Chain A
Amino acid sequence: NAGVTQTPKFQVLKTGQSMTLQCAQDMNHEYMSWYRQDPGMGLRLIHYSVGAGITDQGEVPNGYNVSRSTTEDFPLRLLSAAPSQTSVYFCATFQRRNTEAFFGQGTRLTVV
């Protein structure tokens, strides 16, 4: 039972490149979210999903795309990387509203 698995753990991109951050969960949770963590800013919600085929924007969605074709997977796509997207990205899942959220180990992304 792996929980929430994020890949890769580290990534360096050049400005303008695109990439996909992967998130997979084996807990059969309906709710999945992507956060970015920046010093002094806490965890800010990028996009979230309440089930397969349903996604919505969070607080800081610009420059990112998501899709949810299965319950297990929720990839985050950076369309054209910018230095402002240098951050640590976390995927989180929870089963129902107002219950424990489980986080992956994070992806540290640097855009140069």
Chain B
Amino acid sequence: QQQVKQSPQSLIVQKGGISIINCAYENTAFDYFPWYQQFPGKGPALLIAIRPDVSEKKEGRFTISFNKSAKQFSLHIMDSQPGDSATYFCAASSNTGNQFYFGTGTSLTVIP
């Protein structure tokens, strides 16, 4: 059973456009929601994370929107650049658990 559901599986965006990736979860005990970025041949690296006490977190061109009542969170990449082309994973964890639950990943391609 997938604890975190991620969509879309792949995404193609024009340079300068907005990329949006969505995730949903069921376990209300989750209280930490990170996004990881992975380039080919590399391990995932933390991009941005949010905790449920806020509805939005912004770091540069990257924004997480969080809807606690809907149990959904999303990553928005503004002014998408070819260098943003990568695989993005959402994840969730709880302060009482010992592991992260990852989404299935989104392959983003930004076309020049």
Contacts of B112 in A (CB 8 A): none
Given A33-B99, A100-B49: A40 touches B104 (CB 8 Å cut-off): yes
A94-111: which residues lie under 8 A (CB-CB) from chain B?
97-101, 103-106
Q: Which applies to chain A's interface (DSSP): helix, strand, loop or mixed? A: strand
Instruction: Give complex CA distance A105, B42 in Å.
Output: 5
A112 within 8 A of B: no
Q: How many B residues touch A, CB cutoff 8 Å? A: 27
A42 nearest CB neighbor, chain B only: B104
Query: Is A48 within 8 A of B99, CB to CB?
Result: yes
B63 within 8 A of A: no
Query: Is A42 within 8 A of B89, CB to CB?
Result: yes
Our pick among A42, A56, A100 for the contact of B6 (Cβ within 8 Å) is: A42
A79 within 8 A of B: no
Contacts of A74 in B (CB 8 A): none
Interface residues on A, range: 20 to 34
Contacts of A100 in B (CB 8 A): 34, 46, 49
Instruction: Give complex CA distance A72, B31 in Å.
Output: 28
A61 within 8 A of B: no
B57-88: which residues lie under 8 A (CB-CB) from chain A?
none
Query: Is A42 within 8 A of B105, CB to CB?
Result: yes
A96 nearest CB neighbor, chain B only: B95
Query: Is A98 within 8 A of B99, CB to CB?
Result: no
Instruction: Give complex CA distance A98, B100 in Å.
Output: 8
Known: A33-B99, A92-B100. 7 other contacts (CB 8 A): A41-B104, A42-B103, A42-B105, A98-B32, A98-B94, A100-B34, A103-B45
